Amino acid sequence: MPIDLAPDSATAELARRTAAFVREVVIPVEEEHRGVVPAEEVRTRLQQAAKDAGVFAPHVATEYGGLGLDMRGRATVFEEAGYSLLGPLALNIAAPDEGNMHMLEAIATAEQKERYLRPLASGATRSCFAMTEPAPGAGSDPAMLTTRAERVPGGWRIDGRKWFITGADGAGFAICMARTSGEPGDGGGATMFLVDAGNPGMQLIRHIDTLDESLYGGHVELLFDNCVVGEDAILGEVDQGFRYAQVRLGPARMTHCMRWLGIARRAQDIAVERAAERRLFGSRLGELGMVQQMIADNEIDIAASRGLILQACWELDQGRGAAQATAIAKTFCAEAIWRVVDRSLQICGSLGISGDILLSRFLREVRPFRIYDGPSETHRWAIARRVLRRHDSGAAR
């Protein structure tokens, strides 16, 4: 069956309006703040501007105030939003909120959707996803989860330490993954809990100093110490947390790719403009063969990334697990986007590493993506294992 890669007319128009909004409204704010996360007042102002422009929350169901795009539709629009570091924040499609909204829509009860999803989708609050732990806890291997939740009268008590929890500072609630059965290393036995900000058992320990600075709310270390929640705090079913996490992880990996692909395009545009204008050795920079090769390789990486994203999104929209497709796309995109930004900086020379343009900021922001959402090495290991299992089972390709 042929797959039409072109967006429908409504999605194409939304992408066009998003591109215009990002260039006219968001990029001037980004340049003012040098790509670093601005104050809460700026977030609120940008999100109101996105609402006024009719481009806010494109991924959320219309029932909760969004535009209801499927994954392929998101790929087109999110890429345009990602053309600025602050574009996803303005549209309310930044991590981790975007992935949490997706998961809440799929898993939460009606009461939980009203309490958590609706204000999150409107931008009235923010959230975080508390799974990663310091070694030897959950990281690339989620099964190493050590945070525990024990039954107590009227609910559950959560105890454990989390780190690298993006967006935790100022979040209205956390989705905390805790072990409710089994031991670290076991493949099951995890449960997700909704923990409100202000719970005295959830403490912000510190901000982790990191290479990137554009994710709102920072990367934070949290301590859950005698953190008591009610039965209504359970998201999904007890002991099914790892299974539910898959609802979030595959799509969230793809939306990360979509957003960063926008930055790759922005870096390429900056480099091409520089190559077209800069003169040296008697000609334009862009007329040098080595520079042309870098520009061409950037175009190839951008096009290949977009194709892999669309393939994975098509599988997700068909209701398939898409584990292999999302792993392949995430691994390739994380590395290709880095290459595009790195080459673009090289083309711009000393200007590229200066603070006069944002390429050096882009480079710092995209490098961690080769680690976030699973390091490239972990994905390659999983990709190879699936290929070998398919061979051993004799399944057709």
Predicted confidence pLDDT, tens digits, the chain (397 residues): 565 678 999 999 999 999 999 999 999 999 998 878 778 999 999 999 999 999 999 999 999 999 999 999 999 999 999 999 999 999 999 999 999 999 999 999 999 999 999 999 999 999 999 999 999 999 989 999 999 999 999 999 999 999 999 999 999 999 999 999 999 999 899 999 999 999 999 999 999 999 998 888 899 999 999 999 999 999 999 999 999 988 888 999 999 999 999 999 999 999 999 999 999 888 999 999 999 999 999 999 999 999 999 999 999 999 988 999 999 999 999 999 999 999 999 999 999 999 999 999 999 999 999 999 899 999 999 999 999 999 998 875 5
Could you give the residue range(s) of every CATH 1.20.140.10 domain in the chain?
Answer: 242-393
3-state DSSP percent of the chain in helix, strand and coil, to 5: 55, 15, 30
C-alpha atoms less than 13 angstroms from C-alpha of 167 in its C-beta half-sphere: 25
- For 161, the 3-state DSSP assignment is strand
Range(s) within the chain of domains with CATH label 2.40.110.10: 127-235
| Fold that domain 242-393 belongs to in CATH | Butyryl-CoA Dehydrogenase, subunit A; domain 3 (1.20.140)
Q: Where, residue-wise, is CATH 1.10.540.10 in the chain?
A: 9-122
Query: pTM, whole model, 2 decimals?
Result: 0.94
**What are residue 179's DSSP bridge partners?**
148, 190
d(CA 279, CA 131): 51
The architecture in CATH of the region 9-122 reads Orthogonal Bundle (1.10)
- Could you give the 3-state DSSP secondary structure of residue 210? coil
Q: Which amino acid is at 34?
A: R
Token readout for 282 is: 């008697």
Say which CATH topology domain 127-235 has. Answer: Butyryl-CoA Dehydrogenase, subunit A; domain 2 (2.40.110)
